[in-house]
Structure 1
Amino acid sequence: MKRLAVTALIVAISCTMGASVWAQQTARATGALLRGLDKVSGQTTDMVLGVGDSTRYGRLEVRLGECRFPAGAPSSDAFAQMTITDTLQNVTLFSGWMIASSPALSALDDPRYDVWVISCQS
């Protein structure tokens, strides 16, 4: 039992330390470049949004909450916190973080539209 408690404590400390290192290695951007795909027409649309701004894309409202990138390599990856709402049904379709290098990891689930992050913009 004691061994289990010590192991749990080590894991908790490692996670906390990892989170603080992660926060120190990222920088915040003032905006993001997003790309949308209309699956019906096949047309893509680029959207530049500032943090806190929103835009309409078809029936969707896309809102950017935050964009972060690795401090040592600004063009290497982007992490964007977004909320995407279907304005016709008044339903939130996506709320969370999208990662530019892994768009399928946390993706919008909509039969007509795809939206993903390309890069952070300063």
Structure 2
Amino acid sequence: MLAAILAPLAAISAQAQPIAHPVATFAGLDKITGRITRFDVYIDETVLFGALEITPRACYDRPASDTLQRTSAFLEVNQRSLDGESQRIFTGWMFADSPALSAVDHAVYDVWLIECKTSTNVPPPDER
């Protein structure tokens, strides 16, 4: 009887823990020009894509054998106006396996998560 109770608990603890990464890779679409741009962003760094300020706060991967969303990032996106004011338009988790599940809803730009990485050829913000 005890084995029947403990078996599901063992299966839950056997799931791999997410691995945090210092870099998130995004793709952005400018709907006016049709141009897609791929860019790397360090965690807690803010980059400008068009009029959008994108700040990833976390980026996690799970092993390919995991049935959960394997690559996810928590991010904040602000829209910058012509007078320099910023307004938050998105805060939440974005999933690389399901980009439409939690998308940035903007009339001109689309942004989606590609992957989480341990390194990039972009120098860290404190070295620029």
How large is the RMSD of aligned CA atoms in angstroms? 2.4
Distance 1:113 1:77 in 2: 25
Q: Deviations over 1:58-108 (max 9, x none)?
A: 1110101000010x339x931011111001152111100000010111111
TM-score normalised by L of structure 1: 0.75
Match of 2:64 in 1: 73
TM-score normalised by L of structure 2: 0.72
More helix by share: 1
Instruction: Report if aligned partners of 1:77, 1:119 keep a CA contact under 8 Å in 2.
Output: no
CA shift, 1:25, in A, is 2.0
Which residue identity lines up with residue 111 of structure 2 in the other structure?
V
CA shift, 1:21, in A, is 7.2
Instruction: Report if aligned partners of 1:79, 1:97 keep a CA contact under 8 Å in 2.
Output: yes
Q: How many residues align?
A: 103
Distance 1:114 1:67 in 2: 19
Greater Cα shift, 83-92 or 33-42: 83-92
Match of 1:104 in 2: 100
The partner residue of 2:54 within 59, 62, 70 is: 62
The partner residue of 2:18 within 23, 26, 43 is: 26
Gaps of 5+ in 1: 1-17
Gaps of 5+ in 2: 1-11, 119-128
Distance 2:48 2:55 in 1: 9
* Percent sequence identity over aligned pairs: 33
